[in-house]
Amino acid sequence: MIRLIKKLGVKPVVFILALMLTAAFAITYTGLLPSWSDIYTHLSIDEPYFPQSADELRATFFDAGNADCAMICTKDFTVISDTGAPVYNCGLINVLKRADISNVDLMIISHADSDHIGNALKIMNELDVKRVIMPDCGDLDLSDYEIYNAVIEYADKNGIPVDFVHSGAVYNCGKIKLTVLAPKVQLKSVNSNSVVFRLDYNKSSFLFTGDAETDEQRTLLDDDVLLKADIIKIPHHGRKSAFCKELLQSVQAKTAVITCGDITDYKVSPQLLMYLESQNTDCLRTDLNGNITIITTGRGDYSIETEK
């Protein structure tokens, strides 16, 4: 074979690379070769982000830099919470396609900033999104938020329901219960009108906080029972402006996840990190740990897998 390749005037390494690229194209875009999911199955390699049993839930926080992109899955339901910035090459889509998943039951957009809604339109174009949730921002002017308005227009043209929610909205997705805790009242900034929601899976619980600043966080402090959760997604990438000790005291989380990058101007608050350490709260960061997956069967216990 090597002699034949040399006779053709092609370097072996170039030939092998071309062969690999051709095979990858065929696997991904044609039905001529097995899918990535088939290959994973035959090699007995588990898909890392998807449930391995009927009673398992997996919540993955993707390493998308200073942005939010998470996926919550059971065997029956797929929920997306934020979609990363436009510069993020939306690894979420690749993960879903590799697992032959084409339906998204619920896509939650915490607010209109591009680092949270950046890939929503791309996901809606490539996958079958059943319903979109966005915050009810009252009369807040969002006319300059191009992606936000494009998502609403696309959903309207394609018959995708969009719910503009405030506190009190509840969604039941099989064994998953989503309870919207905020926005409660209209505040001045887009960040402080973030969708904050609690996810319950039997006895296991998560709190997703978007980019809620301290003013929005303080509107939640009357809801002590609903706030207490096993895992919290720390607000606004762990920045100082969103550090509200009173909220963290109410949540009493065992694990905190910080979705953050390495941009110098937006470092994680040292005060936040010191507080989490003082409370013996496990702290995971996408800039240090890569993709973070939390696995639970809903009995109150859970395990954690990280990419790094």
3 pLDDT above the threshold of 50: no
Q: State the pLDDT confidence band at 8, using cuts at 50, 70 and 90.
A: very low
- Span 159-173, average pLDDT: 96
- 230 contacts 302 by C-beta, under 8 angstroms: yes
- Cα angle: 242, vertex 176, 248; to 5 degrees: 25
- Whether residue 118 is predicted with pLDDT greater than 70 in this model: the reply is yes
DSSP state of 94: H
Average pLDDT over residues 204-213: 98
- Mean pLDDT, the chain, integer: 87
Residue-wise pLDDT tens digits, 247-290: 999 999 999 999 998 766 678 999 999 999 999 999 999 999 99
Token pair belonging to 141: 């002017």
For residue 19, the model assigns a pLDDT of 62
Least confidently predicted of 97-101, 116-120, 236-240: 97-101
For the stretch 42-68, pLDDT in tens is 443 456 889 989 999 999 999 998 899
**Residue carrying the six token digits 């035959």:** 42
Q: How are beta strands 231-233 and 204-208 bridged, if at all?
A: parallel
Confidence of residue 24 (pLDDT cuts 50, 70, 90): low
Question: What pLDDT band is residue 144 in, cutting at 50, 70 and 90?
Answer: very high
Q: What is the model's pLDDT at position 264?
A: 62
Q: How confident is the model at residue 96 (pLDDT cuts 50, 70, 90)?
A: confident
Alpha helix ranges (H) inside the chain? 2-7, 12-29, 36-42, 91-98, 114-117, 120-126, 146-157, 214-218, 224-227, 245-251, 270-278, 286-289
Is pLDDT above 70 for 152? yes
Q: Dihedrals φ, ψ of 4, to 5°?
A: -65, -45
- Above 90 in pLDDT, residue 201? yes
DSSP secondary structure, 103-169, as one string: EESEEE---SSHHHHTTHHHHHHHSEE--EEEE--TT---TT-HHHHHHHHHHHHTT--EEEE-TT-
Closest CA to 259 of 64, 25, 24, 89: 64
- CA neighbor of 228 nearest in space, from 204, 244, 261, 264: 204
Q: What is the pLDDT of residue 258?
A: 97
Distance (Å, whole) CA 153 – CA 263: 33
Q: What pLDDT is recorded for position 143?
A: 95
Alpha-carbon distance of 182 to 202, in angstroms, equals 22
Handedness of CA 268, 269, 274, 276 (dihedral sign): negative
Share of the chain above pLDDT 90, in %: 71
Q: Which residues pair with 132 in a beta bridge?
A: 107, 162
The string of pLDDT tens digits covering residues 12-23 is 555 555 666 666
Is the model's pLDDT at 40 over the cut of 70? no
| Most distant CA pair in the chain, distance | 78
pLDDT band of residue 157 (cuts 50, 70, 90) is: very high
Q: Does this model's pTM top 0.75? A: yes
Distance, in Å, from the CA atom of 44 to the CA atom of 111, rounded to the nearest integer, reads: 39
Which comes out higher in pLDDT, residue 274 or 37?
274
Residue 297 has pLDDT above 90, yes or no: yes
Domains plus CATH for the chain? 1-33 (no CATH), 47-306 (3.60.15.10)
pLDDT at 107: 98
Alpha-carbon span 284 to 291, nearest angstrom: 10
Bigger pLDDT: 225 vs 2? 225
247: number of CA atoms within 13 Å, CB side?
23
